[in-house]
C-alpha cells in the first residue's frame, strides 16, 4: 500500500513536478492548496484541475484569509515593526500553509509532509522549522533532492513532466510574483540585477501617471488596537485589507524596492507592494503615539521589532512569539480612537487623531505654556544632566 503524503500545492512548475515525482517514489499524494488571498475563483479552479490531472489521490482547497487577518495581520500592525525597518513580512502566510498541512496529516493519519521549496531561498527554512515545531514529521523536499543531480532544475522538471505526458506551460514569466491578502512580492529579471524595475512589475499599485489628481481623506477607527471601521463602515477583518489595498494601490502607496538580508545569508532584491498594511500601520502608529506613555512607546518598539524578526526568519511557532504577542495585546488596552489620513500619490499621512485617551497633560502644552516655574525647569535640567556634567568636570581638566 502506498504511503500517504500531504503536499502543499500551488499549481506552479515546482509543485506540479512534485506530484508525479512523489508517486514514482511510492507515495499516495494528497494535495492541499491554502488560499491566503490574491487568487481568484477561476485561478483556484485551475489549480484543482492541475492537481487532479497530475494524479493526486485527492485535492483540497482551503481559504484562510480570516486566520491570516487574526493571527498574522493584527499582531503585525500592533507590533508597528517592519523587517529591516522596511519590509512588512508578506511571507508570513507560509505558517498558515504549514498549519493546515499538519492538520491534514493528522486527519489522514500520516507523518509525511512535502513542499516544493528549493534549497536556495528563505521559504525552505520557514517550512521546515514550522513543520518540526509541530512534532516528528518526515519532511520530503523533491526540488532539493533533484538539485543533487542537476544544475538546471527547471529544465529537469519540465523534461520529467513531458516524459510523463503532462503539459508544461510554455509561458516564460518575466517575474516571479507571490501575492496574498497582505500584498505582493515581485522578483526576477532586472530586479535581481539591481536595475530599475519596469512598468510590468506593478501588481497592486497603479503606475505613477495613473494616480488620482486629488488627494483623498480616509478615517479609520480602532478599538483596543483593532480596526473596527473605515469611514464609519464596519466590515469583516479581511475585507478591511482588501478595501485598503485597492484604495492605497490606486495612489501607489506601499510600493518599494528592497534589498533584503535573507536568512541564508545572501542578499535578496525584490519589489513589494503592501498598500493596505502601510495605511493601517500609519493610522495605528499615530494613535499609539498619542495615547501610550513615552516608556510604553519605547519598549513596545523593541518588542515589536523582535516579533517581526522572529516571524520573518522562520520562528513563528517559537514560544517567544506568543510571549511577545501577550505584551503587544496588553499594550493595546487604551489604543482606541479615530485617525484621519490623507492619501496622496505615493504617500499616506495621519493628519488628525481623535481619542478620549490622548495623553494631553493639564499641567501644560509643549512649547506653549506650563504650570511649573522657571526655577523648577532649571532644577530639572540640572538634575537630569548631572551625570554628563560630572563626567565633563572630571575629564576635561585632564
What phi and psi values does residue 222 have, to the nearest 5 degrees? -120, 150
Q: What confidence score (pLDDT) does residue 171 get? A: 55
Q: Is the pLDDT of residue 38 over 90?
A: no
Domain range annotation of the chain: 3-163
Show Cβ contacts of residue 121 under 8 Å, excluding neighbours closer than 6 positions: 262, 264, 268
- The H or E element spanning position 35 is strand 27-35
Q: What are 104-128's pLDDT values in tens digits?
A: 999 999 999 999 999 989 999 999 9
Q: Is the pLDDT of residue 393 over 80?
A: yes
CA distance 251 to 43: 27
Say whether domain 3-163 belongs to CATH 3.20.20.10.
Answer: no
The three cell numbers of residue 322 are: 506568543
CA dihedral 257, 262, 266, 271 (to 10 degrees): -20
Is residue 115 within 8 Å of residue 127, measured between CB atoms?
yes
Residue given cell 495613473 in the structure block? 210
- Please tell me the pTM assigned to this model: 0.93
Mean pLDDT of 323-340: 98
Q: What confidence score (pLDDT) does residue 1 get? A: 47
Show Cβ contacts of residue 55 under 8 Å, excluding neighbours closer than 6 positions: 19, 20, 23, 29
CA distance 154 to 187: 17
Q: What are 116-162's pLDDT values in tens digits?
A: 999 989 999 999 999 999 999 999 999 999 999 999 999 999 999 99
Amino acid at each position: 500500500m502506498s504511503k500517504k503524503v500531504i503536499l502543499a500545492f500551488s499549481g506552479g512548475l515546482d509543485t506540479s513536478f512534485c506530484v508525479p515525482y512523489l508517486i514514482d517514489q511510492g507515495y499516495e499524494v494528497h494535495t492541499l492548496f491554502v488560499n491566503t488571498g490574491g487568487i481568484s475563483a477561476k485561478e483556484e479552479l485551475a489549480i484543482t484541475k492541475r492537481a487532479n490531472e497530475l494524479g493526486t489521490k485527492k485535492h483540497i482547497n482551503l481559504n484562510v484569509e480570516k486566520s491570516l487577518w487574526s493571527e498574522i495581520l493584527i499582531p503585525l500592525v500592533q507590533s508597528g515593526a517592519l523587517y529591516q525597518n522596511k519590509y512588512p513580512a508578506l511571507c508570513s502566510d507560509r505558517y498558515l500553509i504549514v498549519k493546515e498541512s499538519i492538520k491534514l496529516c493528522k486527519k489522514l493519519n500520516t507523518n509525511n509532509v512535502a513542499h516544493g521549496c528549493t534549497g536556495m531561498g528563505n521559504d525552505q527554512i520557514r517550512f521546515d522549522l514550522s513543520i518540526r515545531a509541530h512534532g516528528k514529521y518526515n519532511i520530503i523536499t523533491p526540488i532539493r533532492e533533484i538539485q543533487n543531480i542537476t544544475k538546471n532544475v527547471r529544465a529537469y522538471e519540465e523534461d520529467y513532466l513531458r516524459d510523463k505526458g503532462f503539459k508544461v506551460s510554455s509561458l516564460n514569466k518575466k517575474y516571479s510574483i507571490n501575492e496574498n491578502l497582505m500584498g505582493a512580492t515581485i522578483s526576477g529579471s532586472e530586479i535581481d540585477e539591481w536595475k530599475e524595475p519596469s512598468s510590468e512589475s506593478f501588481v497592486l499599485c497603479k503606475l505613477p501617471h495613473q494616480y488620482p489628481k486629488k488627494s483623498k481623506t480616509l478615517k479609520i477607527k480602532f478599538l483596543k488596537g483593532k480596526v473596527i471601521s473605515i469611514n464609519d463602515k464596519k466590515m469583516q477583518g479581511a475585507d478591511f485589507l482588501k478595501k485598503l489595498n485597492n484604495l492605497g494601490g490606486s495612489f501607489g502607496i506601499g510600493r518599494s524596492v528592497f534589498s533584503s538580508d535573507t536568512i541564508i545569508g545572501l542578499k535578496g532584491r525584490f519589489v513589494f507592494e503592501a498598500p493596505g498594511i502601510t495605511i493601517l500601520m500609519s493610522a495605528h502608529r499615530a494613535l499609539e503615539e498619542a495615547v501610550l506613555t513615552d516608556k510604553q512607546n519605547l519598549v513596545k518598539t523593541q518588542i515589536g521589532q523582535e516579533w517581526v524578526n522572529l516571524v520573518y526568519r522562520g520562528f513563528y511557532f517559537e514560544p517567544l512569539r506568543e510571549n511577545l504577542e501577550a505584551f503587544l495585546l496588553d499594550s493595546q488596552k487604551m489604543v482606541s480612537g479615530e485617525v484621519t489620513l490623507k492619501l496622496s500619490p505615493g504617500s499616506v499621512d495621519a493628519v488628525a487623531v481623535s481619542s478620549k485617551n490622548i495623553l494631553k497633560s493639564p499641567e501644560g502644552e509643549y512649547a506653549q505654556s506650563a504650570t511649573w516655574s522657571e526655577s523648577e525647569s532649571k532644577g530639572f535640567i540640572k538634575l537630569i544632566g548631572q551625570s554628563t556634567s560630572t563626567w565633563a568636570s572630571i575629564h576635561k581638566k585632564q
